[in-house]
Amino acid sequence: MDVQEQQVLEIAQEILNKILRKFNLLCSIYGTTNKLLVKMTSDMKNRVGITMLIIREVKRVP
């Protein structure tokens, strides 16, 4: 995990903690590079916490 990804994860954890403290609610945070991948990620796991989908390389289909 690179520095930027670590920072995003820390921010997401901060948000999760603030929601829990302020509203006493559990929530899920999904992070990735675009809305389609966020939707796919949310379909993969339906749990409380942080789920990040990081794509290092995307191969092109000819």
Domain membership flag for residue 57: no
By CB neighbour count within 10 A (0-12 exposed, 13-18 middle, 19+ buried), where does 23 fall? exposed
**Residues of the domain holding 37:** 3-52
Q: What is the pLDDT of residue 51?
A: 83
Q: What mean pLDDT, rounded, does the chain reach?
A: 83
Reported as a pLDDT band with limits 50, 70 and 90, residue 46 is: low
Q: What is the pLDDT of residue 34?
A: 80
Domain membership flag for residue 58: no
For residues 22 and 57, the model is more confident at: 22
For residues 54 and 22, the model is more confident at: 22
Domain membership flag for residue 59: no
Q: What is the pLDDT of residue 21?
A: 97
Domain membership flag for residue 60: no
Q: Is the pTM of this model over 0.75?
A: no
Domain membership flag for residue 45: yes
Domain membership flag for residue 47: yes
Domain membership flag for residue 22: yes
Domain count, the chain: 1
